[in-house]
Every structure is written in C-alpha cells, then in structure tokens.
Structure 1
Amino acid sequence: MKKKHVVLYFLISFIIAVFIKWMISSQKEEYVLLSEDKSNTTNSKQKDSDKETKQKLPETISYSFHVKPILSDKCYACHGPDEGSREAGLRFDTKDGAYVPLGENKDRFAAKPGDLENSEMIKRIYAEDTHKLMPPADSNLLLSEYEKEILKKWIEDGAQWDSHWSFKILQKPSLPKVVNTKWGNNEIDRFVLKRLEIEDLTPSKIATKERLIRRVSFDLTGLPPTTAEIDHFINDTSSNAFEKVIDRLLNSKAYGERMALDWMEVSRYADTHGYQDDLERVMWPWRDWVIHAFNENLPYDQFVKWQLAGDQIDNATLEQIVASGFNRNHKITQEGGVIDEEYRVEYVMDRTNTTAKAFMGLTMECARCHDHKYDPLSQKEFYGMYSFFNQLKEKGQIDYGEIPEPYVTLDQKTIKTKLPFVNIPDSISEVKLMVMKDEKGIRKNRVLNRGLYDAPGEEVPYTLPEQVLPFSDQYSQDRLGLAEWFFDDDNPLTARVMVNRLWQQMFGTGIVATADDFGNQGALPTHPELLDWLSVTFKEEGWDIKSMLKKMALSATYQQNSKITPELLEKDPENQLLARGSRYKLPAEAIRDNALAVSGLLVKKIGGPSVKPYQPPGLWAGTTSGVGLTEYIADKGEGLYRRSLYTFWKRTVPPPSMLTFDAASRDFCTVQRQKTSTPLQALVLMNDPQFIEAATVMAIGVLENDASDEKQKIGALFKKITSRSPDEVELDKLSEYLNEQRQGYVKQKTENIDPTVTSTLDVPENIQPRELKAYTALASLLFNLDETITKS
C-alpha cells in the first residue's frame, strides 16, 4: 500500500472514530436530558396530584360523611362490629373502640385526637414495610391518597366522632339561605338550589307543558296522558294549572294501581307458592286492599301497622286482618321429602328480612349467621327481631292443593258487606286468603348457630337493634309492639326510608341512592338536610303520602327540563345535584300499559284475580316437574288488555317481557329495581304480540279517520304515543319511512296481513292492506323510540 494511501486510511479511520464517539456522547446527553425531563414531569405531576388532593379536601371533616365510609370500606372487615372476625382488639365502628389504648403497656393509640405522630393509624397507612401496612397487602384493599389525607386531616382536626347519619334522631333543619331568591316553588327547591350555588351551577329551565304532563302522569298513575288532557293543560293559562293536573291524577283510581306496583315488589307478591312445583295460591284480594288503601290515602303509619299486625289490633276488623296478608307473601314449598322445620324457619327468616329492608332500609339478613360485619346489628338482635314472626302456627311443607294456615274464608256476601273494594267475580263463590295469627308460646325464641335450623342456641327476648332505637317495656312483645316501635317519634329510619322511596319514584333515584341500604355500606344522601326536612314534614302532616308526592311534583326541581349540557355532563353526569330533570327508562309495566292505553285497548277495571296476557308458548312446561301449572293458556277478551299490575305472576317463570325490562323476580323483597339497557328490550318492543297488536289498532284508527292529509295522520300517531306534536323535520322523516314501507310491501307482493297480528281485530274492508301494514310499521317504530319508553 502506498504511503499516501496509508495516511488517508488512518485519517478516515480517525474521523469515523471521532464521529462515533461524538454520536455516543450526544446520545448519552440526550438520554440524560430526556430522563431529567421525565423525572421533572413525574415530579411535577406528583406535585400537581398532591396539590389537587389537598384542594379537594373538605374544609371541615365530617366523621359520618367523610371518614366513616372509608373505615367501613377498608377497615371494618377486621376492625368492625363483628366480634368473630375482629383483630388486635381494635374496632373503628365505635368511639370507645377507636380510642382504646393498645399494646401490652396500653401506651399506643390507633387514633389520638390532634396527634398524628402518636396515632398508629397514620403510621400504618403510610408504612413502607408491607408487614405493617394497613390495609394488609393480601386484603386486596387499598387506600387512595385522597382517603389517606382525609384520615390525616380528621386526626389533625381533633378526630371528632359522630354516630351514623341514618341512626340520628330526626330534627327538622332550617331552610338554607340562597342567593337566587327568585327561583323555586317550595322548600324543596331551597335545599337543592343551595347545593347548586355551592357547586357554581344554575337550575335548568322548566320543561314544556307536554313533557310535564307526561312525566307526572307516569309518575303518579303509571299511564300516559290522553291527547285531550294534554290539550286542556296547554290551554289552561291559570297560575295553578299544573297543580290541578296533579290533584286530578292523585284522585284517580289509576293512582292506587301505580302505587301498588312498587308495593308488589316490596311485599314479594306472586300468584304461586314458588320452589319447584310452584302451585297456584290466592292472594289477589290482599292486592285489591293495597290498591284501595292507596286510593283512600290511608296514612302510612296505619298502612304499615295493619300489614305488620292488623290481626293483633284490639277488635280487629276483617279489613285489618286481610291487610296482614303482607307477611304471608313469602314462598312456600310443596315438594315431598323436605324437612318441615327447615322450611318453616326459612319463612320466618323471610318475614324478618322483608320487614327490615322494607321499613328500616337495613341488610338485617347479614346478621343471620354472625354479627353484621359493617352495621351495628348483632346476631342476637337479628333473632330478637326474628322472634316477632316466630309464633305463627304454620307448616314448612304443604300438601298439593292445601291452603297454608292460618287463613280467612271470604265469600261473596262477606266481601259485599265488609270488603266492597275486593273485586270478586260472580264465578267464584269464595276464596281462602292467607293471613297472620299468632299462638303465643308455641315455641321458644333462640339464636340459631350459624343460621342453621337444627342448631338452636341461647334463648333471646323480643328485641330490636339498639343503635336504631331500644325496644323498651313501653311496647307490647308482639308484632303490634314492633309496628309501634317503627312509628315511635324517636325512630330515625321509618320516615327517612319511605320518603326516600317516594323521591325515588318521582326522580328515578333516591336522595340515598341505595334505597335498600341505609347502613354503613350504603350510599350517603346527596342532600341530607333535604331528606330530614321531608321526613319530619311527612310525620308532621300525618304520614300523608299524597301530600308528600304533591309537594315533590310542585317543586321547581321536579319541573326542570332534562337537557344535558356539556357542563352538567362533566360536573354531574348522574344528576346527583339535580340541576336538570331526571331521565330514565320507564318501569316495565308502564311501557306495556302505555301501548295499551294509547291504542285504546286498555281495560280500566280495578282489582280482581290475575290475568294471563300474551306470552311465548312452552315456557311453563319446560320448568316444571310435570305437576301443577305446566301449561300457560292465555286469556281471551279483556284478560289480554288489563294493566300489567294484574298479570299472573308465576315465581319460577315470571312474565318474560317484564323481566327483560328489569322487573324483580319477587322471590324476595325488592325496593329498588336495576336499570339496564339491552338488545332484548328492543326485541320485545318489535316482536311482542301485545305491541304489534297495539300498533295495528292505532294504524286502523288513523286510517279510519276522515283526515286525508298524511302528515295529519302521522302527527296524530306521534302525539298519542309520545304526548307531543312532531316538528317538520320529524314529520318529513316519518313520511319518508312510511313510503319505504309501502314500497317494501309492493316489492314483496304481500297480499294479506299476517293473521297472527289481526286475528283478534276487525279490520274494515275499505282499508288497503298495504296502508295498514305501512302505518302499523310506523306505529311500531314510534313505540320503539327512546322518547316513548323513557321518562325525559
């Protein structure tokens, strides 16, 4: 190699080496810079997060509303009311338990007011050693930074203790002061507006008259307004026009039917006994009484007392005895080979759990086997309440065709003279209705170890949860005493629980979202002062349900439109603050009853035996042992068109369309339905014969109408089904859809309407099949609109 080439080679090698070294150096610097940048970003985000956490902390920490929910969720499993699972002798569900000295020398404290350094709770929740960390790593529970800061600030501020909010004796709060004194119709609005002003939100405008009358009609009667009622309300310019609508609805017979709908699920009403063979029972006269009681506006305290202990009232009337059927709605078995005592115990358990959930809003059943893990309900208190229902002479297993005792026989004469509200058909001479009747002393009341019927333990007295209200000697030791305890002026739960369910009926969600749980694991009230104000008012006004519902309906809060703005969607997606009207799917019964009502098919007959409308064939046969109710035979005539309240309810196979729209199974007490949205719901609306028949009847109605204008026909259908008139854009789209259906009919060369749709209908000869099919499809489309099945 020539010398110059060698020099050139080394020169190039040197340059490449320098370049590579420079590149490596640059990459290292860039990596360091990127790492520093990421570190700075992380630190910045951490600082922002810490800052945000501190900004979110309430100015004043409330034990009941801020601290207790954290302790209940993350600590009560090991340090709560259940003595059997409690660890380290520490409990956070009582004041004494949280402040008790710990350790061998009794020189340590879990929570020492004002002293973070000597509060073991703070050391443990921030511990880096996993053996000391609380909650323990293997518990799958984790405290957020916000929750840690809440506990820290609580101790810093003196660790003030307070009892659970729902166990406090009711006191009527004063009305809050608000800035916007021009908005609001009554006291409800003051409480709602105060919260909105704190959150820097303003109420929505009032809904249109069409939407208002539709909303309140469904809420108070479960039925839509007629077009005549809508037009009358629109044309009524008086200042109390809406109040007149409310009064008319509350005084209608349909009101009692609407209120009875919810009570059927509270009472777990059904037309069969349940379990495998699921034979028929007769309880519909009791349902007639419920409708009658609501229509007569029987005060809530009497309404409950008669159902819990009507038979024990001095000189009880037959009506009061019939009312006691409430506690005989539980399941009863007819299966051979069962252990009689085992099932009898289950019936008493059911009555205990139902009463606790319906009137106290507590999950009492959790204390069947041990002390409640979250609420101050001991196992002894559970069986103390169980005792009130344990003196009934009843069998655990009944024979086929046997009427479970005790019962009363109601014949035609008795009903006409003493129970005229019971709608007994002429074809039925008498009915036997299950009721309550104790035989005191027939058995001792004992704790059942682990909840087992064959493991009786110590004897327990008649008693009720001490933390709610002590059961003193002033009450009689029977179900009448239990009823009096519920309506003692110092009982903190009865009024709150019922008012919350009435609010749930009118607004979709209760002030306490968990209507079935007012305990430590339940939701906190969004407006606690409002709940207490309404509850005290309910008591002061004589437990008047109609008055309470009217107060809610007249509020400006109730009358807001339901439009969701971007701001409300971001700040309050679930509408907990009530800055707009409620929007949710109508109950299953209302969806079906709406179709029957607007089509004119609805038979407005009150009470009587249950009926069997359309149902898919073969459902009953596939779920029986071959004995009893094996075949569902649909009614003919008016039985197909009665309100859904009267639909025959077989426990093992409830009406499928009702279940699809979230109705409860009625195996046990239910005070709050699920809210779901599934494709099955759309399939019901499109294919259920009841909806197809209603759509066909509506099509016949508009085609028989003298109005020749197509848009008038469309407008008439639209208004009947949705309670409002369509705009021009909607009319054009619906007209376009109608033409598409006509064209589809021609292309398919269809000559006749499906006989399964019109077999029960008289179709006038002058109506063309093509037009009937097109308008039927249009009506079916309108039944499927979100607006039709949703309270907006």
Structure 2
Amino acid sequence: MSPVMRMFCFISLPLSLVLLTDAAPVRAEDEVLFNRDIRPILSDTCFACHGPSEKDREAGLRFDLQESPFSELDSGMRAIVPGNIDESELYQRITSDDESLIMPPADFNKHLKPEQIELFKRWIEQGAKWQDHWSFITPTKPEVPENVKEGWTKNEIDRFILRRLEKEGLTPTPEADKETLIRRVTFDLTGLPPTPAEVDDFLADESPNAYEKVVDRLLSSPHFGEHMGRFWLDAARYGDTHGLHLDNQRSIWPYRDWVIDAFNNNMPFDQFTIEQIGGDLLPDPTLSQKIATGFQRCNVTTSEGGSINEEYLVRYAVDRVETMGTVWLGLTLGCAVCHEHKYDPITQQEFYQLFAFYNSLTEKAMDGNALLPPPVVKVPTEQDKIRLEELSQLIAKLNQDKQKLYSDVSYTDPTPDAEAQLPEQKEVVVVEDEAPTDVTLLGAPEKEWHFVEGPDHPVFSGKKSLLREGTALSQQYYEADKSPITIQQGDQFFFYVYLDAENPTEEIMLQVHTTKNTWHHRAFWGANKIDFGQVGTTQRLHMGDLPKMGEWVRLDVTAAQIGLVPGDVVDGLAMSQYGGKVYWDKLGMLTFGNFKQDGYESQHIWEQVELKLQDGSTLPQEVLAAIKVSPAERTPEQSATVQHYYLENVNPAARQKFAAIKADIEAKAKERTDYENNIPSTLVMEDMAEPREAFMLIRGEYDKPSEKVERGVPTVFPPLPEGAPVNRLGLAKWLVDPKNPLTARVTVNRYWQQYFGTGLVKTTEDFGSQGEWPSHPELLDWLAVHFIDSGWDIKAFHKLIVMSATYRQSSHVTPELHKRDPANRLLARGPRFRLDAEMIRDNALQISGLMNEQIGGPSVKPYQPAGLWKVVAYTSSNTANFTKDGGPALYRRSMYTFWKRTSPPPSMTTFDAPSRETCTVKRERTNTPLQALNLLNDIQFVEAARKFAERVIKEGGDTTADRVIFGYRWSTSHFPDEQEISILSELYEMNLQEFKNDPTSAEQLLTVGDSPRDETIDPAELAAWTMVANTLLNLDETIVKE
C-alpha cells in the first residue's frame, strides 16, 4: 500500500518494533551453555534464596558460585551431579510433585516452565559444565570467522553475523537502495535528514567508495557531535534545573558544549571518561577538563526547608555511584545500597567503597536554589580572554600614568605628628519622640508610626519610644529624606531596643536606603527570618544574637560593615522585626563630622581616625597595616603606601589632581568587571583537602552508619591500576583499564543499540545476572577489544558499524523472516524504527528551512502549551512561568531545549524522551494516538508545514506534480510513484478549493507560528500546500528510519 494512501494512519510502527522477542530458542541438538541458558533461569527464579545475599540464603546453598552446588550439602546430597539427573537434588526438586519439596517453592511468585526444566535436564546430562558469568571475564579478541559468502561481507562484523545466519538457515537481505541508505546513515550520524542535493550527489556518484565518502563527510560534520551528545546527555541525566523542590534554573550548559566538542574532536573514549570522572584531579587541569566534571554535577539537588544536609550528601553520592555503574559497567549497583546485591557479586561493603570516592566533595548539600551552586568556574571564550587581557593592559597603563602624578604633588602636613589629636565623634539623632519630618513615611503592615509614653511603656530617651508589635515581618521606615546624610569616614549607626520578654521577637534588623534607590545595606540580630538581600553579605549581615530581653540595649553597626562608603547619601532608614513586641528609641549616627575643612587636610589626623576605626575601616589591608606601624618605624614602601593613598583619596586639594585618571581607571575596571561578570559559569567537581570518612549505612539510611570503609573496587573486578591514585581519577583510570571486563563491552553495545534499536545485549542497562545473554557474544567481545585496540577511537568505531553490510541491508522483511525473527535479533535485515523525539522535531525544522544550525550555547525555550510549568511549580520558583523565546532561538536543534526536570518539554516526552531525573541509557519506544495528534496539531509542526509549503511553492517548480515530487523528496529522500503523485495532487486541489471558499480559515492557518509569512503568495494556495506539507511531515516514511 502506498504511504500516502495511509496518510492519516500516522506513525504506525511495524509489529517487529513492538513485539520484541528473544532470538531463536536452543535447538535439541545444540549444547546447553550455562551462561546463555542456565544462569538466567537461576538468577530469575533461584538467586532470591540461593544467591549472593547471605542474609536471605537458604540451606547454605548458592548458585552464583561454582563450588556450592557441586559440593555435598548438610543433608549429604549434592544439588548437581554432572551427568546424573537422578542424583542431582536440583533436578529432583524442580520436577517434584510434592508441594513441600518442589523448587521454587509452591508459594513463590515464579515457577519453572517445562522448556526450562528440559534445559536443566539436558545441561546436567551433558556434564553440567560451569561458566563464570561472561560479563565479569575480561574479553579476549576471538578469531574472525571464515565465511564462504565472500561477496556479501564488507568487514569483520559481517563475518560474525553471517556465521550465525548460516547456522540458523537464514540469508542476509540485499543492500538497501541508495536513497534509503543515505537517509539512514545521515540520520544515524547527524540526527538530521539528507537534502535532495546530497541524495542526488550520492546517486550520481558511481565510484566504488561513494558510500564511504558520504560516511566520512557525515563524521566530519559538526552535527555528528550534537547527535552523539544527545544520547550521552540522557546517560548523564543532563537538565537545566535542579530537579527537586523549587526546581530552579542551574547553569550547566557549558558541560553540554564540552560533550559536543569532545565527540566532534573525536576525543578517545578513555580520555572522555577520565576527564568527566576525575578531570579536576589531573595534574594542572585545564579549564576544559574542569568543565568535563559537570557530568557528576548533573544529579538532582534540593534546598527545601527542613532537608537534612547529611541525608542529601548521601543521596548525591549514591546517585553518582549508580550512574557510574550504569553508564560504564552496565550494572545495577544501586541494588547494593541497603543489602548485598541479590543477583550480582557486589556486596554492600563494596558499594560503599565506591561511595567513598564521591563522599569528599566540596559541594554543599543544599543548592541554595541558586543558578550556580559552588564549586563553579568561569567559561570564557578565546574572544573573551583577548578582551579581558586588553582591558587589563589598559588599566595597567593608566596605573602607571597615575604613579607619575605623585611626583607632581607637593604636600606638607599642616599638623605635626606630635600635635595630631583625634577629634571627638558627635551623635546625630534621626528618630526620637517623633517621626522624621520632610520624609516619606512608610510602614508594614500600617504606615502610621506608633509612639508611646511612660510610665506604662519603657522609654530610653526623651518622652516617648516607638512601639511595634506583630506576628511576622513588621517594620517602620522612611524614604526620600529632603535632608539626607552624607556618609563620612568612620560613621556608625546606633539605636536602642527593648525586647518584650512575654512576647519575644525572633529577629530585629536595621536597613539603610541610599539615593541610589537601593535598600542593599542591612544588619540583623537573631534568627535569619527576614528574607531581604543575600545573607552573609552587606545586603544582610548577621551581627549576632538578639540582645537581652526586658531592658534597654544599644546596638551599633558601622557604615562600612554594611557596605556604605564615604560619599554615599542616606535618605532612608528602616526598623524591622519578625514577630513579637519591640520598643525602639534614639536612632541615629555617630560621626567624626566632615573633615574637609578641619581634619582631612592633615594626614596625621586622618591616620588617627583610621586607627580608631580599624575593624570598621574600609581601607585596603596593606594601607591599614602600614598605618598601624608608627611613622618613625615604617619602611619607605609603607610610608609611600600610606601617603599615596591619602593624597589620592583623602586630601581635598591633592585628590582633585587624581580625579580624572582615577575615574578612567574605575571606568575601565568596571568595564572589565562587568565583562567578566557576563561570562558564563558552569558547575564543576572539587574534592575536599582531606577526605571525609565513609561508612556502610544500615539499610542505606544516612543516620545509621556501621563499619568504616576505605575507597576500593569490587573484588569481582581487577584492582585499581598500579600507580593509580585512590581517588576519582584513579577510579576513572580503572574504568578504562583494558583489564576491566565491562566498560568496553557496555560502550560498544550502547553504540550498537543506536543503530539497530536493540543492543547485542538487549538489557543495555544490566550486564549482570539478570541481564540478557548477548545475541552474538563473540561479536560483542571482538568489538570491545577492537575498540580498545583502536585507542578507543569513537569515530572509527561508528564508521565500522555503518560501513558493514549488516547495517546496509534493506529493512524489508518477508512474512517468513518476520515470523522467524520478529525483533531482528539475528540481523538478517536492516534496522527500521521510529525516530527519537528530538530527531522528529529537528527533521521538521530542517525540511521546512526553519532550522537554526548554531552549535552550542545556552538552552532555549521553543513552543509549548501555556501553564505547564506553573502547575508543578512553587510560586517562588524562577521556573514557575514559561516565557517562550523568539527569533532564531525558537528554531534551534531540540538538544538545546531548556530541560525543566519536573516538567520536561511535552513534545519530547510524548515521543518517549526521559525526564532526566536519573540516568537513562535506553529509551522506551511507544506508539500512541497522542503522538499522531502532536504531529498534526502542535504549533511547531503546523508552522513547519507552512514554511515547508512556502519552500515547495518557491523552489518546487511550476506544476502541481513537480511541487509534489519536490516536497516528497525533501520529506522522504525518495521519488514518489504515480499513484502517490496523484493522491497528493488531489489533496492539494481539494484543499485549494476549500480555502478559496473559506478565506478566513486560510488566514487562521497561516497565522500559526512566529515566523513571518510570505505575503506575496496567495493565501488559499499557501494554505492548501500547508495541508499537503502537513501530510508529508506525518508520513511513516518521514518519521521512521528505514
């Protein structure tokens, strides 16, 4: 049936992609292999009571180790007697009719099938040959089979595949046609479709290496790194938000750029591993190597109130071990968090030995809901580095010019050192007995200032005190003082408070407003309840505990402590409290006054003032240190330091000579600071100077430590490489040590899965006892060793796969072959399955001409239904409200889409993209009506259809048939047949007539999406072609990789 005749039966996946089954069963004449045939049954039905877990083990019998089942049991029997089923207690139990004897027990939730019992029988009769679990044995390179059908094989992969096919009595399917082949390999290597021009070039190239030239071109494309990076980001659980509680935004997109660059630069996989696991621990790590460690900062984090720091530090470390285990080892290490692994030879102690590698990081348990929870690094581009260096050189030159000015200044202190006396500070009272006048009075919850008199109320000074009482934030404040206070050197705020003991407050705060229109200067006493400014800075400085209750207490804070500098103009003050009853009195400032006339003209007097202040001084440390040395004892350098600072910044006459060049320096310094502040940062890893102790945790509970553990790896594996440090760097080197039996196997299997839909080991995430036996075990081992021997060359490995005859087969399947191998595990035909979520959207963008091909950069926010974020968000979250991007950012590749973990992009999740809250190495592939509706109606796809229609009209020729052919080729990379041309032409004519009769509907259709419409095209014509384009974008042949 023509695909166009099925135009409204969208994304109907072939049955072979839905009913995935195992390869052909073991035939009666075949040898029964323990690893392939017996171990999976034991793991599934017996290990729960007779496996690695000592706690759950029954009768002292375990089937995960060779010695136990062949040894004499306490009963005097043996579970397995090779060659003798009558004396093998295992066989007698699994065939017993007695419910008290049968195994698995009658009340167990799993039971053996007759064909499984038959396998045990044949295995024992054949001698019960034991094999250690295949995946824990370091692979060796098997001999490449010698095949008869030389004309079909193109590389070593094909020889292994052909040997299996011949054994099964099958033959390979012929090579796919050239249009299908270039479409398949272009999608597989770049995630994008080929253009008709690229297809035509390939069709016209009749050279023997025409296909290889296409492959090499695609491998060198920058889109290769994007496409491969997308798979890796699933494994890395990359997201643009923290993932828990507020799910606020985090900045880690430079790590995504690092991944793309690594694939494009063909970074060897061992280096790729080392830099992500331990890049920060390399000798003199580069910025790039630090950025790489973002892999381990991609885990979900929180800052929810009430969360316990130690609990979340444990959670983060557990997540990192589990992720490492899945990505590199293909093991479910997390099953050993609470107890011994029930199926694999991983003890709980060994899990926590791995945990110890991640237990000594400098990150805090609470992320602070911050964009950049430390540790972080700046990520300047080469252009940024050049500009920063230019500004630094300009500033250095200006400072040199400033030094020359000192010789032009003649200064004699008018006050000899012996006569220098410290002036007295004066109190300037701002609030006492009444509110300030000539100001704007404000307050919360009411504006009226409530002054009370004694003797019923305590009063410190004058006749009245100011009373505030409330249950939460309560404050009295003013702004816009027409007689503002100019801050002088050494100024100090003071006020008196009386805290009611019967109705105590939790916090009191003094806030200062300046004419710069900011309330960014605050000091508080007591609990940190009033959420203004950033705590620990001059915006919210903690001064100590609450003062004693039931009596008047004076509190002081210097202007310098809360970030005020001489010259700042204060035009507002606030007296704030959190709950309780507080009396306030005599608020003001202690000041030395303005020394412009009588003090600052003397360096000696100025020095006395600074010595008096010291702790509240704003002087640079080197200047203050020099002042503390008596003038007679100062070195020439110290004397110059003090006098230069004084002349440049204090003396009224001298500082005018420095004003212009200082302004230039400050302007350039600000420009450099602003430039540097705008350089993006990203999250990285960093270890503590001294490792934290690590312990086994009873039942995995953070507050129940038991035995102390040291860093190490499970004993089933080879030890850390000789000379490797016992830290994350050593762990990374262990992962890619050629002796490690799993890393190479797991990696090449995951790559194989990308091309064929299923790995040689179907359970990509589990190579342990519960995992599936490889469909082609020798091929898997050959690929793993070959990958290592190649220097872990990623591009070479991908080329090996796509150059194989196995990959290049047609996906056409006969009824007989489909019945024999519905899931294509024997690989007698080429791959065929629906594109992944990102590829479907990118395909539409590319075909329509909307695609913005910019590589790298921050995440973007394309179309999505309104309100989705708000439904799952706290109101205080900075990702509660979704704001769509505009312009070119709207049409970037889908891998750059902003990923909010509590509400991932709906157009992606509809097509089975994961939430990325945890590591994902194999996506599900479903077929639902919602997917068809998404492709038909989602604004992105409707807009893409409109822009595709414009391309068809302007580039596709003058006749309807020519335009149909043009559109069909862009969509499917093939030429349509006559029937398809006829159907699509009729669809166009039908829609054209409807839109001519209903121009309003045409206008409504053409307004979908932000991209501008070509006003020169007749609306009815454009709308009609939009409907044809919409149909083309929804064809199976468009969204399925053939």
With structure 2 as the length reference, what TM-score do the two structures score?
0.69
Deviation at 1:746, TM superposition (A): 4.5
In structure 1, the residue matched to 2:779 is 530
Q: Within 1, Cα distance between the matches of 2:289 and 2:36?
A: 41
Contact 2:190 2:227 in 1 (8 A): yes
Q: Within 1, Cα distance between the matches of 2:1006 and 2:308?
A: 48
Q: Within 1, Cα distance between the matches of 2:742 and 2:86?
A: 39
SS of 2:825 mapped into structure 1: coil
Instruction: Tell me if 1:553 matches 2:802.
Output: yes
Deviations 1:648-704 (CA, angstroms, capped at 9, x unpaired):
011111100100111111001111100111111111101111111111011112223
Contact 2:995 2:1002 in 1 (8 A): no
Q: Within 2, Cα distance between the matches of 1:627 and 1:407?
A: 24
Deviations 1:7-45 (CA, angstroms, capped at 9, x unpaired):
xxxxxxxxxxxxxxxxxxxxxxxxxxxxxxxxxxxxxxx
Deviations 1:717-754 (CA, angstroms, capped at 9, x unpaired):
11111111111111111112222222433554646421
Q: Within 1, Cα distance between the matches of 2:266 and 2:177?
A: 30
SS of 2:379 mapped into structure 1: strand
Which of 656, 660, 663 lines up with 2:906 in the alignment? 656
Deviation at 1:260, TM superposition (A): 0.7
Change (3 A) 1:119 1:326: same
Instruction: Tell me if 1:639 matches 2:889.
Output: yes
SS of 1:446 mapped into structure 2: strand
Deviations 1:471-510 (CA, angstroms, capped at 9, x unpaired):
4764321011101111222111011011111111122211
Deviation at 1:55, TM superposition (A): 8.6
Deviation at 1:413, TM superposition (A): 6.4
In structure 1, the residue matched to 2:345 is 376
Which of 268, 271, 289 lines up with 1:302 in the alignment? 271
Q: What amino acid does structure 2 have at the position aligned with 1:525?
A: P
- The within-5 A match list for 1:294-693 is 294-401=263-370, 403-411=372-380, 416=385, 429-471=678-720, 474-628=723-877, 629-693=879-943
Q: Within 1, Cα distance between the matches of 2:782 and 2:767?
A: 17
Deviation at 1:185, TM superposition (A): 0.7
Deviation at 1:79, TM superposition (A): 0.6
Change (3 A) 1:100 1:634: same
Q: What amino acid does structure 2 have at the position aligned with 1:511?
A: L
In structure 1, the residue matched to 2:945 is 695
Instruction: Tell me if 1:753 matches 2:993.
Output: no
Which of 163, 169, 179 lines up with 1:194 in the alignment? 163
In structure 1, the residue matched to 2:959 is 709
Deviation at 1:427, TM superposition (A): 11
Change (3 A) 1:440 1:426: closer
Deviations 1:303-352 (CA, angstroms, capped at 9, x unpaired):
00000000111121111111111111111102111111111111111111
Which of 221, 234, 250 lines up with 1:252 in the alignment? 221
Change (3 A) 1:756 1:740: closer
Change (3 A) 1:537 1:393: same
In structure 2, the residue matched to 1:103 is 74
Deviation at 1:73, TM superposition (A): 1.1
Deviation at 1:528, TM superposition (A): 0.6
In structure 1, the residue matched to 2:248 is 279
SS of 1:443 mapped into structure 2: coil
Contact 1:715 1:731 in 2 (8 A): yes
Q: What amino acid does structure 1 have at the position aligned with 2:1021?
A: E
Q: What amino acid does structure 1 have at the position aligned with 2:977?
A: D
Deviation at 1:398, TM superposition (A): 2.8
Q: Within 2, Cα distance between the matches of 1:176 and 1:696?
A: 53
Contact 2:939 2:1009 in 1 (8 A): no
Q: What amino acid does structure 2 have at the position aligned with 1:429?
A: N
1 or 2, which has the higher strand percentage?
2
Contact 2:180 2:973 in 1 (8 A): yes
Q: Within 2, Cα distance between the matches of 1:435 and 1:625?
A: 27
Contact 2:1006 2:1023 in 1 (8 A): no
User: % of aligned pairs identical?
Assistant: 49
Q: Within 1, Cα distance between the matches of 2:386 and 2:122?
A: 68
In structure 1, the residue matched to 2:552 is none
Q: Within 2, Cα distance between the matches of 1:273 and 1:384?
A: 27
Q: What amino acid does structure 2 have at the position aligned with 1:84?
A: K
Q: Within 2, Cα distance between the matches of 1:483 and 1:554?
A: 31
Deviation at 1:417, TM superposition (A): 6.4
Deviation at 1:760, TM superposition (A): 3.0
Q: Within 2, Cα distance between the matches of 1:785 and 1:331?
A: 38
Contact 2:943 2:1009 in 1 (8 A): no
Deviations 1:496-532 (CA, angstroms, capped at 9, x unpaired):
0111111111222111111111111111110111111
Q: What amino acid does structure 1 have at the position aligned with 2:55?
A: G
With structure 1 as the length reference, what TM-score do the two structures score?
0.90
Deviations 1:561-599 (CA, angstroms, capped at 9, x unpaired):
101101111100000000101111111111100111111
Deviations 1:252-298 (CA, angstroms, capped at 9, x unpaired):
11111011101111111111111121011100111111111111000
In structure 1, the residue matched to 2:87 is 118
Q: What amino acid does structure 1 have at the position aligned with 2:63?
A: F
Deviation at 1:403, TM superposition (A): 2.9
Change (3 A) 1:83 1:576: same
Which of 49, 52, 56 lines up with 1:81 in the alignment? 52
Q: Within 1, Cα distance between the matches of 2:362 and 2:676?
A: 32
Contact 1:366 1:372 in 2 (8 A): yes
Q: Within 2, Cα distance between the matches of 1:132 and 1:279?
A: 58
Q: Provide structure 2 residue ranges, at least 5 long, that are not aligned to the other structure.
A: 1-23, 389-673
Contact 1:359 1:498 in 2 (8 A): yes
Deviation at 1:224, TM superposition (A): 0.6
Change (3 A) 1:651 1:428: farther
Which of 30, 54, 61 lines up with 2:32 in the alignment? 61
SS of 2:90 mapped into structure 1: helix
Equivalent pairs counted in the alignment come to 733
Contact 2:278 2:732 in 1 (8 A): yes
Change (3 A) 1:391 1:779: same
Q: Within 1, Cα distance between the matches of 2:734 and 2:1013?
A: 61
Which of 224, 249, 267 lines up with 2:236 in the alignment? 267
Contact 1:273 1:280 in 2 (8 A): yes
SS of 1:438 mapped into structure 2: coil
Change (3 A) 1:411 1:536: closer
SS of 1:558 mapped into structure 2: helix
* Greater RCO (Cα-Cα under 8 Å, separation 6 or more): 2
Q: Within 2, Cα distance between the matches of 1:564 and 1:144?
A: 31
Change (3 A) 1:426 1:516: farther
Change (3 A) 1:352 1:267: same
SS of 2:377 mapped into structure 1: strand
Contact 1:412 1:429 in 2 (8 A): no
SS of 1:613 mapped into structure 2: coil
SS of 1:85 mapped into structure 2: coil
Q: Within 2, Cα distance between the matches of 1:688 and 1:249?
A: 30
In structure 2, the residue matched to 1:211 is 180
Greater Rg, structure 1 or structure 2? Answer: 2
Which of 141, 149, 171 lines up with 1:180 in the alignment? 149
Deviation at 1:401, TM superposition (A): 3.0
Q: Within 2, Cα distance between the matches of 1:135 and 1:271?
A: 48
Q: What amino acid does structure 2 have at the position aligned with 1:693?
A: E
In structure 1, the residue matched to 2:579 is none
SS of 1:160 mapped into structure 2: coil
- Higher mean displacement: 632-641 or 431-440: 431-440
Contact 1:714 1:734 in 2 (8 A): yes
